[in-house]
């Protein structure tokens, strides 16, 4: 009886773990769907700013500074929580060849997400680590902390070249976005020529305001994409965990039934032996 009771106890513990993992999987699914409603709006806002910048720079090409930039900075957007496979390891792996490129040995690293910060702890080029967003409601506070850190870096280092490494759920890989210097890879406007845009500010003032708004909007979009990819990775990772627990629960159920059948067989044998010993032998005449 003790063996079957131990199997039942183990089955109960695995069943509770399965419920917890299933709940976590459902939360990751809902968070992914919720974030998907915002990312298209954010992407459209960034595209609109890029079109405005292309029109502006076509009319005022000399406003964009062409000076040599200062230190290169890599911003890595990792995960705040676990259960997402090799999400953070893939970011570190994508960063390594970039640090071997010319200028990479003096580059700085800004890590966002506790799990990623743990991976990069002790790295000689790590400038700072920030807490990331566990859910979409925390992204605004993360964005504020992130822009504050980048602003302090610009004040201390001067102009910086900022590259953001993050996961993209659609591309299913780590991608790199060059955010600073701004608008360096913009396509020329489709309607080149004509009158320059009418401004209420001087061209340098307008560019400064546009860059601030663009950087904020682009970081917001990238944070959303990264958190979506994280939850999607967590969803698939936990789905595999649920299947693994289901297989173990089924195995324990079969073992418990087998032990019960053996116990029933033993009980029947004991009963038969008792009956045989209780029946007196038949005397021959």
Q: Which residue has the tokens 């405005």?
A: 52
Quote the CA–CA distance of 176 and 95 in Å, as a whole number. Answer: 10
Evaluated on CA atoms 205, 206, 210, 211, the torsion sign reads negative
Strands 161-168 and 72-77: parallel
pLDDT at residue 111 tops 70: yes
Decide if 195 is inside a domain. no
Kindly report the CA angle at 179 between 63 and 126, in degrees rounded to 5? Answer: 130
Decide if 243 is inside a domain. no
Q: Which residue has the tokens 């966002």?
A: 112
84: Cβ–Cβ under 8 A, 6 or more apart, which residues?
230, 231, 233, 234, 237
Residue numbers of the domain that contains 159: 63-184+200-227
pLDDT score, position 2: 75
pLDDT score, position 275: 66
Q: Which residue has the tokens 């800004």?
A: 110
pLDDT at residue 125 tops 90: yes
Total count of domains within the chain: 1
Confidence grade of residue 69 (pLDDT, cut at 50, 70, 90): low
pTM metric for this prediction: 0.82
Decide if 118 is inside a domain. yes
Decide if 156 is inside a domain. yes
Decide if 170 is inside a domain. yes
DSSP helix/strand/coil, 109: strand
Identify the CATH number of the domain in which residue 166 sits.
Answer: 3.40.1380.10
Decide if 103 is inside a domain. yes
| pLDDT tens profile 9-27 | 788 888 888 889 889 999 8
**Residue 146 host element (H or E):** helix 139-157
Decide if 240 is inside a domain. no
Decide if 91 is inside a domain. yes
pLDDT at residue 250 tops 80: yes
């Amino acid at each position: 009886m003790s063996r079957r009771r131990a199997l039942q106890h183990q089955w109960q513990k695995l069943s509770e773990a399965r419920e917890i993992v299933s709940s976590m999987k459902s939360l990751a699914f809902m968070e992914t769907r919720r974030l998907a409603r915002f990312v298209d709006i954010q992407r459209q806002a960034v595209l609109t700013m890029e079109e405005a910048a292309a029109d502006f720079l076509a009319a005022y090409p000399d406003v964009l500074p062409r000076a040599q930039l200062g230190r290169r900075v890599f911003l890595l957007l990792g995960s705040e929580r676990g259960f997402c496979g090799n999400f953070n390891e893939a970011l570190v792996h994508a960063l390594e060849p970039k640090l071997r490129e010319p200028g990479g040995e003096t580059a700085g690293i800004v890590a966002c997400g506790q799990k990623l910060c743990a991976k990069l702890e002790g790295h000689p080029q790590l400038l700072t680590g920030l807490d990331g967003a566990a859910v979409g409601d925390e992204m605004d506070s993360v964005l504020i902390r992130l822009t504050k850190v980048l602003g302090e870096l610009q004040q201390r280092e001067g102009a910086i070249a900022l590259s953001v490494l993050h996961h993209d759920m659609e591309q299913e890989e780590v991608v790199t976005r060059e955010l600073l210097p701004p608008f360096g890879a913009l396509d020329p406007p489709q309607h080149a020529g004509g009158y320059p845009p009418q401004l209420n500010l001087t061209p340098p003032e307008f560019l400064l305001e546009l860059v601030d708004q663009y950087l904020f909007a682009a970081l917001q979009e990238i944070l959303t994409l990264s958190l979506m990819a994280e939850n999607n990775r967590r969803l698939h990772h936990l789905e595999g965990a649920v299947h693994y627990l289901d297989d173990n629960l089924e195995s324990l159920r079969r073992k418990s039934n087998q032990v019960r059948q053996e116990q029933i067989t033993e009980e029947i044998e004991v009963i038969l032996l008792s009956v045989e010993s209780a029946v007196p032998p038949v005397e021959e005449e």
